[in-house]
Each structure stands twice: as structure tokens, then as C-alpha cells.
Structure 1
Amino acid sequence: MQYDLISRLNHWIIAISMIGMLLFGLYLAYGALEREARGPLIDIHRSVGILVLIYGTWRVAWRMISGRSPP
């Protein structure tokens, strides 16, 4: 079973982005940061999260358009 290049790139970009956001969120929650230092980082986390959500929506739409590869 072989997926096209765009499907593979979509998969890996989302996978790396989600893992990165999870690690960043855990750092914000449990890291030794002062309250004042967290504010700008939380804003960045929120902005990047919205971009990942938009890209994830693109990935789902691409999967629906391109369909599944044959078994």
C-alpha cells in the first residue's frame, strides 16, 4: 500500500506538530517558569495550536478528496 507524497507529508507534519505542541504544553504546565514568563509563551502555544488545527483540517479534507489507496 503506497500513499502519495502529499499524504505522507501531511501525516508527518501533523505528527511532529502535535508531539511538539504536547511537549510544549507540558513544559508550560509543569516547567519551572515564573508566572510572568508563561504569558507570552501561552500566547505562542495558542497561536501555533490554531495553525496546527487549520493544517489538520486541510489534512482531513485532502484525505477525503484523494481517497484511500487500493488494498
Structure 2
Amino acid sequence: MTRRNPETAERAMQLRRMTAERLRTMTPQERDRVMQVHLAQARGPVANAMLMRQLTATMLRIKKTRQETESDHA
């Protein structure tokens, strides 16, 4: 059984908040550049597809979080 370290969990949440804030303030061109760099670092079509899936999932989570935040403030 794995025990969760509260400090590690808090660091992960802080990193997630910082990442979400950075992505929220990025221009579309900056986001495209980040995606291009990540894709360039991947090796081969399978790795590229997996990376694209991860990036898409991340962007969808950010979009969902942003929509939830906006609806909370409405």
C-alpha cells in the first residue's frame, strides 16, 4: 500500500496551478511553439501520437478548469 505524502501532493497541486496559469496567459502562438518543441523532442510517429494525446488531454483539462472557474465567478 502506498502512502501519499501531503507535502508532495501540495507541491504537485502548486505546480498544476502554476502550469494552468502560464497556459492561461500564453498567446496561441506561444502554445503552438510549446507543442512544436514537445513534438520535435518525441521520437517517431507512435511517440508523436502519444505526446499529442497527452497535450490534448492537458489542454482539455485546462479548458474545463477555466470554464468551471468562469462559471463560479458568474
The residue that corresponds to 2:20 in the other structure is 14
How high is the TM-score relative to the length of structure 2? 0.49
Identity %: 6
Q: Identify the structure with the greater helix proportion.
A: 2
Question: 1:12/1:62 Cα in 2 relative to 1: closer, same or farther (>3 Å)?
Answer: farther
The structure with more radius of gyration:
1
**1:18-48 deviations in whole A, cap 9, x for unaligned?**
45x92641312xx254333211000101111
The residue that corresponds to 2:48 in the other structure is 38
Q: Which residue identity does 2:60 align to in structure 1? A: I
Structure 1 position 13, deviation (Å):
5.8
Give the SS at the match of 1:36. Answer: helix
Matched length: 51
The residue that corresponds to 2:60 in the other structure is 50
Gaps of 5+ in 2: 1-16
How high is the TM-score relative to the length of structure 1? 0.50
Q: Which residue identity does 1:48 align to in structure 2? A: T
Given that 1:14 and 1:52 are in contact with CA atoms closer than 8 Å, whether structure 2 keeps it comes out as yes
Larger RCO (CA within 8 A; separation ≥ 6): 1
CA RMSD in angstroms comes to 2.9
